[in-house]
Amino acid sequence: MVDDIKQETNLPNVIPIFPLKGVVMFPDTYLPLNIFEPRYLKMIDQAISNKNRLVGMIQPKNSNESDDELSFYGVGCAGKIIKFEETYDNRYLITLKGLSRFNLISEKTNDNNFREANINWKNFNKDLHINVKSTDFSTLKASLKNYFKSKNIRANMDAINTFNDYNFVDQITMICPLANNEKQLLLETTSISKREMLLQTILDSYISEENISDISKH
């Protein structure tokens, strides 16, 4: 059965964007967000008032710039608000479900002080019609275990070993503390199979660096 969100074909060319360093989202993944800045509260108010309820996640290139001077990577991912909760201290707890990646054409700050972007979806139209194939990702999971060990990250590998979702690679990319540009490169890689190979290479490079470091200490 086709996901209801995937039935969206009339995607808008202008959406609000939420810039966050080190945060990427992929189609068919879930991203929880804690919204507390007044301008982004207004952004969510606007988004949930629209039928599509879309928010675009995108990484700024350089977080050292002032907010007005931020420049952005050329690819982000739009998600639909599927869960919304308002807290007693006037925050919004939302969950986005990734819909499709997009190319950024231009962006501007609107009267409510959050950014809206002109975007193009065509380079990622396959995001709306993903061919789901499950696998055990055994090689990737082995590298992931060694990567966690090299970074002294405690992880429940028994639980991870049970994950066979077709987009396991994307979920790992979202939660692993990879460099921002590495996450962006994975986001911009069109196919899941190519992302798996790239993620495998990135993890193995971290493991190799750690092994070299260990040797040099002895």
Q: Examine the domain organization and report whether 36 and 63 are in the same domain.
A: yes
Q: Examine the domain organization and report whether 118 and 56 are in the same domain.
A: yes
Which of 71, 105, 129 corresponds to the end of one domain? 129
Rounded to two decimals, what is the model's pTM? 0.88
Which of 111, 129, 147 corresponds to the end of one domain? 129
Q: Examine the domain organization and report whether 27 and 53 are in the same domain.
A: yes
Rounded CA-CA distance 207/143 in Å is: 8
Give the pLDDT confidence of 100-155 residue by residue, as tens digits. 999 999 999 999 999 999 999 999 999 988 777 667 789 999 999 999 988 888 88
Question: Burial level of 90, CB count in 10 A (0-12/13-18/19+)?
Answer: exposed
Q: Examine the domain organization and report whether 62 and 123 are in the same domain.
A: yes
Q: Examine the domain organization and report whether 153 and 118 are in the same domain.
A: no
Instruction: Tokens 């090299």: give the residue.
Output: 150
**Which residues span the domain enclosing 12?**
4-129
What's the CATH number where 109 sits? Answer: 2.30.130.40
Give the pLDDT confidence of 169-212 residue by residue, as tens digits. 999 999 999 999 999 999 999 988 899 999 999 999 999 876 54
Rounded CA-CA distance 35/115 in Å is: 15
Q: Examine the domain organization and report whether 115 and 9 are in the same domain.
A: yes
Q: How many domains does the chain have?
A: 2
Q: Which candidate, 127, 133, 142, places its Cα nearest to that of 166?
A: 133
Q: Examine the domain organization and report whether 103 and 150 are in the same domain.
A: no
Neighbours of 44 (CB within 10 A): 21
